[in-house]
Amino acid sequence: MTVIKRAADFVHETSAAEAAPGIERIDVQPVSSKAVRETYAARPKIYPKLAHGTFRKIKWAVMAVTLGIYYLLPWLRWDRGPNLPDQAFLLDFANQRLFFGPIEIWAQELYYITGLLILSALGLFLVTSLAGRMWCGYTCPQTVWTDLMVVVERFWQGDRNARIRLDNSPWTFEKIWKKTATHVTWLLVGLATGGVLVFYFRDAPTLAAELVTGDAPIVAYVFLGIFTGTTYLLGGLAREQVCIYMCPWPRIQGAMFDRDSLLISYRGYRGEPHGPHKKGQSWEGRGDCIDCKACVAVCPVGIDIRDGVQLECIQCALCIDACDEIMIKVERPTGLIAYDSFRNLDAASHDDRAPLRFVRPRTILYSALIAIVAGLMLWAWLNRTILDLSVLHHRNPIYVELTDGSLRNRFTVKILNKLHEKRTFELSTEGLGRAKLSILGFAEDDPKIDVVTDNLRALNVLITVPKAARAKLDGPATPFRFVVTDMADGSQTDRKATFRGPNHE
Amino acid sequence: MSEKEIDHVTGVETTGHVWDGDLKELNKPLPKWWLYVLYATIIWSIGYWILYPAWPTLHGYTKGILDYSPRAEVAEELAAAKAKQAKYLDEIAAKSLGEIATDQELLPFVMAGGAAVFGDNCGPCHGKGGGGAAGYPNLNDDDWLWGGKLEDVEHTILYGIRSGHPETRDMAMPRFGIDEMLKPAEIADTTQYILSFSDKATDPVAAEKGKSLYADNCAACHGEDGKGNIELGAPNLTDNIWLFGSAPAAIAETIRTGRGGVMPHWTGRLDPATIKMLTVYVHSLGGGR
């Protein structure tokens, strides 16, 4: 039975040999590798080493931008006039509206959000087929917050080696306060995360004041607590476990890759056979990989990229930085680990090159789907109704005969005004000949229906077909239309309805 | 069972139980997290017993120190809801029916409240939407036996029809057949004459014979022309709306027994504001008359 040893164990086990003159061979074992992949094993702790280089800089920038957006967005204001929230980005569940700058989505229009989610998924598919797990490696909140939590850990406890030493040392005062400071800071990061999340659901400045004075709704505190806890748990403690065991995406993303996708790869054709490089030794007949394990030490999920693309790899590109740094030191070309395609790797092993192919059936399909969905959404948005009409036929009784022999149906007609101004409408029927329309509570001759700012008005409508016109009815069910005319601009909206009468006739 | 046996394949201790000669069960304790959750729930339940109603006793149950009772909570919520309605109910009580029916601020409350009260109290006879049934008037048409103005409707709801209340509308049609005021043949003739008002007569000779019988016995209330009289609650016999049906047999039965349908009075059972809401709601069904 193979037993996985914690990375910390190795510090004492092997003497740190040099991988090349002046370059330490880091004592690190991947927690999961081709050679050692246990089905049942306790979680070995990973101590990611700080990487330096282009991709680390890009990741710092992405982290700053994404966290900046997350923390600052709720504070952005947007003037929508009186009686409306002035928060640019607000999920106003209480009033069943979503506000995104100039866009306002009502509860019954939630399909726009569905469309947005479909677009996001398709975008993810496209990016993944082009360049692998860009989402996982750079922008996924799990990655960003884990990165932030590692920064905190590094600030209090030092980099990889210092952290391993601290973990192996007995519980001294220094260890206690360093650990305490780390966990407290993690909790504060969690608190800030949860604290900002609730601002998306209620006017941020108001809620901020309420949170401090203790007047905020209980649900705000509950969600603040939940997100403080989950940020601490998932970002601070669970980390790569979330990506490996909880997230479904790593299992799906394999279906998006193909031989042309740019994936972070170890160029085995260049690196092998690997081994320590002695001073003055020729590079002829051996690989560029000096087995310094710098790539394993920086890996946040604790794998060896030299095993190839694997489920655990979130493709964060930090191993590229780590390897390039070493390659420069040993005066070999950089890019031993780099974004490359399977096709090019294969070609290169035969001293050939395969050009990059971004345009291929898969990417064309994803792009076309994105264009179609985006086009549909844009079309739906441009044709979005600013007036909704719904008609409900009363069914007990379904019709009545009046003393003078005329027939009458009763309807509830609801007019929904989505504009932020009062509008006046006129209601009429089409397709019922001389039918008389009267609205309870309105003057018979000229009913002007005012519907105030983004509101709904229900009308009790009576449609009467005189005795003389009954013969013209289409049996027991006559289709007709309710027409609502905006008196300001004459625009019309209509709805189908049915006029009911007796069966015999 | 004193010696610990280790399974050589997995390196895990066995329970020592053997089936079929060689099948052994590995000794795998419960997952720790599961066990701790179980302990936590046990501790939680003790707190629960102290705070909330929990254990049955011989004469009731333990009340818990929080004195919590779902029943009391419901009562509180109902009281709070009543308090919220009070503003509207006061306004309804203060205003006249005509004012309420045209008050666009108040109407949504009145219509919603009226519909609820109607469903609970009136629906069993008149139908949930006021569609009526044989003997129970349809409230959606414009045929109002005792008048279709707001005040008329309110009066009917308050005091009912032949309900026994001193203020009730208690005019009743005589029982021409039962009390032997008309012979069966005469009733048949009268029926034919009444049907002729709405062109439904099938026997012109009988109808002609019924004309004088109608004039002598019916016209006083229903009018010479059969148009009825709202003051007396006498239905219009010329339209196509028949409370007990328009078949000759149904009309003959009406003449024989006088029918005399009864509606209970609601004053004393529903408060005045509720009756006002109900009135405006019922009036809105068909727009009254």
Inter-chain CB pairs, A–B, below 8 Å: 55
Q: Check residue A1 and give its pLDDT.
A: 37
Contact status, residue B282 vs residue B125, Cβ threshold 8 Å: no
Q: Check residue B201 and give its pLDDT.
A: 81
Tell me whether residues B239 and A405 touch, CB distance under 8 A: yes
Which tokens go with A341? 């395609």
pLDDT digits (tens, 9 = 90+) for A354-365: 888 889 999 999
Q: Check residue A250 and give its pLDDT.
A: 87
Three-class HEC string of chain B:
CCCCCECCCCCCEEEEEEECCCEEEECCCCCHHHHHHHHHHHHHHHHHHHHCCCCEECCEECCCCCCCCHHHHHHHHHHHHHHHHHHHHHHHHHCCHHHHHHCCCCHHHHHHHHHHHHHHHCHHHHCCCCCCECCECCCCCCCCCCCCCHHHHHHHHHHCECCCCCCCECCCCCCCCCCCCCCHHHHHHHHHHHHHCCCCCCCHHHHHHHHHHHHHHCHHHHCCCCCCEHHHCECCCCCCCCCCCCCHHHHHHHHHHCCCCCECCCECCECHHHHHHHHHHHHHHHCCC
User: Above 90 in pLDDT, residue A439?
Assistant: no
Q: Check residue B5 and give its pLDDT.
A: 81
User: Above 50 in pLDDT, residue A5?
Assistant: no
For an interface test with B, the pick among A2, A403, A438 (most B C-beta atoms closer than 10 Å) comes out as A403
Q: Check residue A96 and give its pLDDT.
A: 85
End-to-end CA distance of chain B: 96
Q: Check residue B237 and give its pLDDT.
A: 93
- Are A331 and A210 members of one domain? no
From the list B11, B129, B240, which residue is nearest A396 (CB)?
A: B129
For A438, nearest residue in chain B (alpha carbons): B287
Contact status, residue B210 vs residue B194, Cβ threshold 8 Å: yes
Q: Check residue A445 and give its pLDDT.
A: 65
Q: Which residues of A touch B279 (CB under 8 A)?
A: none
| Superfamily name and number for B184-257 | Cytochrome c-like domain (1.10.760.10)
From the list A395, A403, A441, which residue is nearest B102 (CB)?
A: A441
| Domain limits, chain B | 72-168+263-286, 184-257
- Are A272 and A228 members of one domain? no
Tell me whether residues B129 and A440 touch, CB distance under 8 A: no
User: Above 60 in pLDDT, residue A9?
Assistant: no
User: Above 90 in pLDDT, residue B94?
Assistant: yes
Tell me whether residues B131 and A462 touch, CB distance under 8 A: no
From the list B143, B284, B285, which residue is nearest A403 (CB)?
A: B143
Q: Check residue B104 and give its pLDDT.
A: 81
Which tokens go with A275? 């081994």
- Residue A121, in any domain of the structure: no
Higher pLDDT, A418 or B54: B54
pLDDT digits (tens, 9 = 90+) for A15-24: 456 777 778 8
Tell me whether residues A401 and B132 touch, CB distance under 8 A: no
Sequence letter at residue A51: A
For B284, nearest residue in chain A (alpha carbons): A440
For chain A, the 3-state helix, strand and coil shares in percent, each to the nearest 5, are 40, 20, 40
Q: How confident is the prediction for chain A on average, in pLDDT?
A: 86
Rounded (10°) angle between helices B272-286 and B70-94: 70
Sequence letter at residue A426: E
- Are A471 and A442 members of one domain? yes
pLDDT digits (tens, 9 = 90+) for B112-142: 999 999 999 999 999 998 999 999 999 999 8
Q: Does B233 touch chain A (CB under 8 A)?
A: no
- The average pLDDT across A301-326 equals 90
From the list B131, B142, B287, which residue is nearest A440 (CB)?
A: B287
- Are A195 and A214 members of one domain? yes
Which of 100-119 (B) contact A at CB < 8 A?
Answer: 101-102, 104, 107-108, 111
- B72-168+263-286 classified as CATH 3.40.50.1970: no
Contact status, residue B268 vs residue B101, Cβ threshold 8 Å: no
For B100, nearest residue in chain A (alpha carbons): A441
Least reliable range by pLDDT among A69-73, A77-81, A228-232 = A77-81
What's the CATH code of the domain at A487?
2.60.40.10
Task: State the number of CA atoms in the 13 A half-sphere of B178 facing the CB.
Answer: 10
Least reliable range by pLDDT among A7-11, A28-32, A470-474, A494-498 = A7-11
Q: Check residue A351 and give its pLDDT.
A: 83
Which tokens go with A179? 């650990």
- The average pLDDT across A428-445 equals 82
Least reliable range by pLDDT among A26-35, A331-340, B269-278 = A26-35
Least reliable range by pLDDT among A140-144, A189-193, A384-388 = A384-388
Contact status, residue A503 vs residue A476, Cβ threshold 8 Å: yes
Categorize the per-residue pLDDT at A393 as very low, low, confident or very high, splitting at 50, 70 and 90. Answer: very high
Q: Does B286 touch chain A (CB under 8 A)?
A: yes
- Residue A144, in any domain of the structure: yes
What's the rounded Cα separation, in Å, for the pair A332 and A224?
51
What's the rounded Cα separation, in Å, for the pair B126 and B8?
83
- Residue A130, in any domain of the structure: no
Range of the domain at A238: 50-109+140-248
- Residue A169, in any domain of the structure: yes
Q: Backbone phi, then psi, for A17, in 5-degree steps? A: -75, 160
Contact status, residue B165 vs residue B263, Cβ threshold 8 Å: no
Q: Check residue A6 and give its pLDDT.
A: 44
Q: How far is A330 from chain B (nearest CA, A)?
A: 46
ipTM: 0.76
pLDDT digits (tens, 9 = 90+) for A92-136: 888 888 898 888 888 888 888 899 999 999 999 999 999 889 999
Task: State the number of CA atoms in the 13 A half-sphere of A218 facing the CB.
Answer: 0
Which DSSP helix (H) or strand (E) runs through A307?
Answer: none
Residue where the block lists tokens 């409350």 = B109
Q: Check residue A37 and give its pLDDT.
A: 67
Tell me whether residues B11 and A1 touch, CB distance under 8 A: yes
Those residues whose C-beta lies under 8 Å from the C-beta of residue A457, and which sit 6 or more positions away, are A414, A415, A417, A449, A450, A451
Q: Check residue A384 and give its pLDDT.
A: 78
- Are A93 and A198 members of one domain? yes
- Are A160 and A285 members of one domain? no
pLDDT digits (tens, 9 = 90+) for A245-277: 899 988 888 888 888 999 999 998 888 888 888
Q: Check residue B195 and give its pLDDT.
A: 93
- Residue A124, in any domain of the structure: no
Q: Check residue A284 and give its pLDDT.
A: 84
- Are A58 and A207 members of one domain? yes
Q: Check residue A40 and give its pLDDT.
A: 66
Tell me whether residues B285 and A441 touch, CB distance under 8 A: no
Sequence letter at residue B243: L
Percent of chain A with pLDDT over 90: 40
Asked if the domains at B72-168+263-286 and B184-257 fall in one CATH topology, the answer is yes
Q: How far is B61 from chain A (nearest CA, A)?
A: 32
Total domain count for chain A?
3
Tell me whether residues A400 and B140 touch, CB distance under 8 A: yes
Three-class HEC string of A182-242:
HHHHHHHHHHHHHHHHHHCCCCHHHHHHHHHHCCCCHHHHHHHHHHHHHHHHHHHHHCHHH
From the list A404, A458, A462, which residue is nearest B287 (CB)?
A: A462
User: Above 50 in pLDDT, residue A67?
Assistant: yes
Q: Check residue B166 and give its pLDDT.
A: 93
Tell me whether residues A441 and B236 touch, CB distance under 8 A: no
Q: Check residue A140 and give its pLDDT.
A: 93
- From A192, A221, A248, give the residue that closes a domain: A248
Q: Is the dihedral of CA B112, B114, B118, B121 positive or negative?
A: positive
pTM for the predicted model, two decimal places: 0.68
Q: Is the dihedral of CA A323, A325, A328, A329 positive or negative?
A: negative
Which tokens go with A375? 């086009």
What's the rounded Cα separation, in Å, for the pair B236 and B226?
6
- The average pLDDT across A142-153 equals 94
Tell me whether residues A397 and B287 touch, CB distance under 8 A: no
From the list B11, B107, B131, which residue is nearest A397 (CB)?
A: B131
Q: Check residue A45 and give its pLDDT.
A: 87
Q: Does B127 touch chain A (CB under 8 A)?
A: yes
For A400, nearest residue in chain B (alpha carbons): B141
- Residue A344, in any domain of the structure: yes
Least reliable range by pLDDT among A137-151, A282-296, A438-452, A482-496 = A438-452
